[in-house]
Amino acid sequence: MDIIVDGYNVIFKVPELGYSTEKCDIEILRNRFLALLEQYKEKRKHKLIVVFDGKGHGNSSEARAAGIDVVFSRHDLDADEEIKRMVCNSENPRHVTVITADRDIEQYVKKYGCKVVEPMAFYRDMKKKVARLQASESDGRLFNKEEGDEPASKYLGPSKKEAEYWLKVFSGKQENDKS
């Protein structure tokens, strides 16, 4: 199954992703969202494609470390048209889920048999799965990753527990240190 995410549509429909933050750089919001998607992707093995409007970015596409395809629409298309084009060209659109609140996209992709999920529903599901993943990791269970994958923590920073550990290490105060 493929999941196509209408990137900015999701960011702007989910206040927790930062839309409510005034004067926040869109690149920061985009990177926060992609870091969260990377954690989600560790739990889900579906193909995950995130489409953003490419205006100002040229014709670019990149693959994130966790296997997420990030697509910036071509200069002659907006993200909506890029999503429609992907669905139209899909070998099996009935196995495609589109994450969007855009009614025009929803009506178009449903004609092809795609499932449409609202951004808040997707976000809640994503947060739930990421929380389970983090709980599993804190229990010491590890998940197999493809070689070359970078951890999402690279983008999010250390957990509170990890930060406390490294503060102790670098402050020079060891429990066994008697000097």
The sign one gets for the Cα dihedral 26, 32, 38, 41 is negative
Model confidence pLDDT, tens digit, residues 61-81: 565 657 789 988 887 788 999
Domain region containing 92: 2-171
User: Domain containing 64 — which CATH number?
Assistant: 3.40.50
Dig out the tokens for 141 from the structure: 């269970």
Checking if the pLDDT of 137 tops 80, the result is no
Q: In total, how many domains does the chain have? A: 1
Half-sphere exposure of 160 (CA within 13 A, CB side): 0
d(CA 131, CA 113): 31
Tell whether pTM > 0.95: no
Predicted confidence (pLDDT) at residue 125 exceeds the cutoff of 60: yes
User: pLDDT tens-digit profile of 25-51?
Assistant: 778 888 888 888 988 887 677 889 999
- With respect to residue 145, please indicate whether it lies within any of the assigned structural domains: yes
On whether residue 177 sits in a domain, the answer given is: no
